[in-house]
Amino acid sequence: MKENKENVVISKATIDRLPLYYRTLKISQEEGIEIISSDELGRKIGVTPEQIRKDLSAFGEFGKKGVGYYVRELMRNIGEILGLNRKWNIAIVGVGHLGWALANYANFSSQGFQLQAIFDVDDEKIGRYINEVQIFHIDEIKDIVQSRNIEIGIITVPAQHAQSTAMRLVEAGIKGIWNFAPIKLDVPDNIHVVSEDLSVGLNSISYYLSRQNN
Amino acid sequence: MKENKENVVISKATIDRLPLYYRTLKISQEEGIEIISSDELGRKIGVTPEQIRKDLSAFGEFGKKGVGYYVRELMRNIGEILGLNRKWNIAIVGVGHLGWALANYANFSSQGFQLQAIFDVDDEKIGRYINEVQIFHIDEIKDIVQSRNIEIGIITVPAQHAQSTAMRLVEAGIKGIWNFAPIKLDVPDNIHVVSEDLSVGLNSISYYLSRQNN
């Protein structure tokens, strides 16, 4: 059913929608839905059925004309595309409240993201554990990243330390960075950075409430 | 320059991109860029210039052909569309690490979102302050929401309490909910809910790293 198309350039916008498809299919599956139309899937996500068909067509042929998508199968296929069919070792740098919250976020491990280490510079935190994962001093980052085969680093340090933290992660051999500090990181081209801006969700709410009030 | 078009149906996908435009324009402005082309803006965000022109055309006419967009002006216009030209009073329910982290998130207040109250059920937390904002018992929610004119509630309670928390927010008179619990909330149609899934950023990274490794 799935057929990888090589040499197709896929837009970032399409890739950013795939996790939404995945999440919505997962919820549908948990609700016991076995087959879903692109109309219904689009309604749940807030994109047009045409967009869904176009997005998915970049990766192969999915679904049956006049029937819809098999929820479990499409979810598995999108999961494969997103690399969720394997384990990813991840590390968090910065044990403030956000770092602590992320270390406890159960959804990551259910998707194959395994927290292998946490780093900080505060002597009072080093040596402690969050959910059985040890907090190490940042000076140990290279050894730990390499010995534990960690590929993704999560930056939750204060903004003024984010760039130097990114460089330490890169030097340690990390390939992807998920950045929560509100600055643009300057890293080599082969490192994939996703910067999270927690305001986006609130912006969407204020947009809708502004319309209602008018 | 800005011309509100009434009776135009705007897709959720467009609205979800507006905060990205806003954020990217803000960064550009901070970098001293005064004029930006849709090509350049698109490159920074990862969408096509056609998509940007299409998205913005739903709200009026922006930019000058052959010149580009005036960064400060477009940022202000998108800010208005997103309702960021006014103050929004918000509250957080649930003082775990994530609630604590969000209460400290400086970007919210810079966008006009003012944290007016925090709620919990833990007697040890009630009466304490996070950044000068008081933690109240959830039983006081209706009084506080009404007296402080709070319109948006943020749910950071454990999943099993999220639905009942949502109902208490709705009964208290809240209009928008930002939900961090990994469940789908069942609320009246006139309440706008945005559910945050923190896995989406990681999924995007794993997608790109999967391609690299192949």
In this structure, are A98 and A76 located in the same domain? Answer: no
What residues does A35 pair with on adjacent strands?
A70
Whether the pLDDT of residue A5 is over 70: the answer is no
Considering only CB atoms, which chain A residues are within 8 Å of B191?
none
Burial code of B170-195, b = ≥16 C-beta within 10 A, e = fewer? Answer: bebebbbbbbbbbeebebeeebbbbb
Across the interface, whether the CB atoms of B152 and A205 are under 8 A apart is answered yes
Instruction: Give the rounded distance of the alpha carbon of A25 from its chain centre.
Output: 16
Residue B111 lies in a domain: yes
Tokens of A171: 């030097």
- The tens digit of pLDDT for each residue in A64-108 reads 888 899 999 999 999 999 999 999 999 999 999 999 999 988 678
Domain boundary among A42, A57, A81: A81
The parent domain of residue B23 ranges over 12-80
Q: What is the ipTM of this complex?
A: 0.86
Q: Is B127 on the interface with A (CB under 8 A)?
A: no
Using alpha carbons, select from B44, B185, B3, B214 the residue that is nearest to residue A81: B214
Radius of gyration of chain B, Cα coordinates, nearest whole angstrom: 20
- The tens digit of pLDDT for each residue in B24-38 reads 898 899 999 999 999
Residue A1 lies in a domain: no
Residue tagged 């986006």 (tokens) = A200
Residue B4 lies in a domain: no
Domain boundary among A65, A81, A97: A81
- Cα A111 to Cα A80, A118, A154, B203: the distances in Å are 11, 19, 16, 9
Q: Where does residue B147 rank: exposed (0-12), middle (13-18), buried (19+ CB within 10 A)? A: exposed
Determine phi and psi for A169, rounding to 5 degrees: -65, -45
Q: Give the CA angle between residues A142, A144, A148 to the nearest 5°.
A: 125
Whether the pLDDT of residue A159 is over 60: the answer is yes
* CB < 8 Å from B in window 191-210 of A: 192, 194, 196-210
Domain boundary among A81, A106, A125: A81
Average pLDDT, chain B: 89
In this structure, are A126 and A54 located in the same domain? Answer: no
Domain count for chain A: 2
In this structure, are A94 and A168 located in the same domain? Answer: yes
In this structure, are A133 and A174 located in the same domain? Answer: yes
Determine the distance in angstroms separating the CA of A66 from the nearest CA of chain B, rounded to an integer.
25
Residue A21 lies in a domain: yes
- The tens digit of pLDDT for each residue in A96-145 reads 999 999 998 867 888 899 999 999 999 999 999 999 999 999 999 999 99
Determine phi and psi for B140, rounding to 5 degrees: -90, 5
User: What gap in Å lies between CA B25 and CA B72, rounded to an integer?
Assistant: 8
CATH number of the domain that B67 lies in?
A: 1.10.10.10
Considering only CB atoms, which chain A residues are within 8 Å of B170?
none
